[in-house]
Amino acid sequence: MAHVKPYVADAQVQASVNYPGELVEDWHDKAISRMGELLGKYRSLRVFMDACVHCGACTDKCHYFIGTADPKNMPVARQELMRSVYRRYFTLPGKLVPGLVGAKDLTKEVLDDWFSYFHQCSECRRCSVFCPYGIDTAEVTMAAREILNTVGYGMKYTNQILAKVQKIGNNLGLPGPALEDTLSGLEEDIEMDTGVSVKMPIDVQGAEVLLVTPSADFFSEPHVESLIGYAKVFHQAGISWTLSSHASEAGNFGLFNGNYEQMRNIAMRIRQAALDLGVKRIIVGECGHAWRVAYAFWNTLTGIGAGGDDPFSIQLQKQLDPRYRQPMHICEFTHDLIKRGALNLDKEANDHRIVTYHDSCNVARASRMGDMPGGQFIIPREIIKAVANNFVDMPMDTIGERTFCCGGGGGVLTDDLLEVRVKGALPRMEALNQVKENNKVNFMATICAICKAQFTKVLPFYGFDMSMVGGVHQLVSDAIQLGTKE
C-alpha cells in the first residue's frame, strides 16, 4: 500500500500550525535532531525502540495488515521503519556496523515510506494489547508524524483541522453565528417532534455544565441525533448546561500528530471557556479520542492550579458531588441518571432495532468511565439495555480491549486514504456480518464521532446500509419521554 498517501499540507496550512511550509533543505539533519529530542524527552519512546524482539505477536492483530495484506502494515514492520533509523544514528553498533544490526540511513525513500505507512496506522493500540513487552506502537506512529511535520512534510487533513480549531474553536471552522443558527434549527426540530421546548444553549453564564462535543454533532447524520439525546437528558434531569462558541469542539487532533503543544493549545481553549462562563463541571460528548485526551491529559496539559474556581482544579472536584467527577463522559452522566430513575424511558421506542455495540479504541483501550472496574465497557452497554429491548454483543474476541478499530481513527479519516479505510474496516465488518446473520442485528451503536463517520462511509462497501450506525445517545433520544404532540 505504498502507493496510498494522504495529501501533503500546503505552506499556508503548515504555517498556521507552526511547521515549515515545505520540505526543508536540511530535512535529514533536522529529522535526526528532532528524533533525538523526542528520545530524550520521552523515555518510553527509547524503550519502545530497544525492546522489540520481532516475535510477531502483533502481526495478525492489526486491522490494516489483515485488510491490506501489506507486510509493511504489520505493526512490527511499520515500527521497524523508524527503529532501523534509530539504530543507525543513536546506537553504537548501528554507527559502527550498520549492516549487521539492520540499521539504515534516513534517505528520501525511507522518509516517503514514513509518510505513507505512519499514516496507515490509526493509533488504535490493539497490537499493544497482545505485545508481550507492552510496546505502545501508537507512540511510535505519533513520534514519526511529529518528525515529518518538523521537516515540513505534514498531512493536509489533520493539520487543516488543527488550524481551524485553534483559530475558531471547532474542527469544522464553524463560526459562532452559524453555530447559533444550527442550534436554533435543532430546537425547532425537537419541538416539532415532541411538542416540548428543549433548548440548545450557547454561551450561558453560570450554567452548571459546559458540554464539549465533536463538531460533527452539530449538523451531520447520524451524529446530530446524539446531540439531541444529550439535550433531552439535560432537559429532563433539570440540569443547566451550555455550549461555548469559543470552544465548542471536544476533538483534539494534536494527539494524532504527537504534538503535545498542539494538544495543550486546544485544551487551554476549553479551560478558558469554562472559566469565562463560570461553569462547575465539564462533560465530554461521544468522541473517543476527545475523551482520552480529557481523561488522561487535561490535568497535565493545562497546568491546573491549587484550587479556587478553576474547573480543572483537583480541589474543586473534591467539593462536587462525588458522582460527578471531573471531567465526565456523557455516558457516565446519563448512566447515573438512569440508575437513580431520573429519566422517563420507553424501551419499546427502540423495538424496531436489534442493537449491537462497537467499542471505540480510545475509550476501550486508553481511558476509563466511572469508578467500577471495566466501566468503559459496562456503562455504554447498560445504557443501551436500559433504552432498548433487543441487544446482542459482538463476538467475544472482538469486544472490550480486544475491539477492532473502525479503520478511520488516528487521522486516517480522509478520502485521500479511502482504500486503506475500507480495507482496514474488514475485521469489524466481518464481526458485524456475523451478528447480523445470526441475530438479525440492524443497528450498531458507538460512542465515537470518528467511528460514526467512518462506518457511514464504509458500510456500503460491505453491503450494509449506512444508516445502520448511530450513537448510544441516539437510542437514548428515541426512548426518552418528554411529552406528546399537541
**Tell me, what's the pLDDT at 95?**
97
Give the amino acid at 319.
Q
Sheet of 328-329, strand order: 241-242, 209-212, 281-284, 328-329
Asked if omega into 222 is within 30° of 0 (cis), the reply is yes
Task: Give the whole-angstrom CA distance, residue 147 versus residue 157.
Answer: 17
pLDDT along the chain (486 residues), means of 10: 92 94 97 98 96 94 97 96 98 97 98 98 96 95 97 97 93 92 96 95 96 94 96 96 96 92 91 89 94 87 55 53 71 96 97 98 90 91 98 96 96 97 98 97 98 98 96 98 62
pLDDT, position 308: 47
Q: Would you tell me how many other CB atoms lie within 10 Å of the CB of residue 34?
A: 17
Kindly report the CATH number that applies to the domain delimited by 11-154: 1.10.1060
Among left, alpha and beta (phi > 0; psi -120 to 50; other), residue 432 is alpha
Grid cell locating 186 = 435543532
Per-domain residue ranges of the chain? 11-154, 165-479
277 grid coordinates: 462562563
Amino acid at 311: P
DSSP class of 447: S
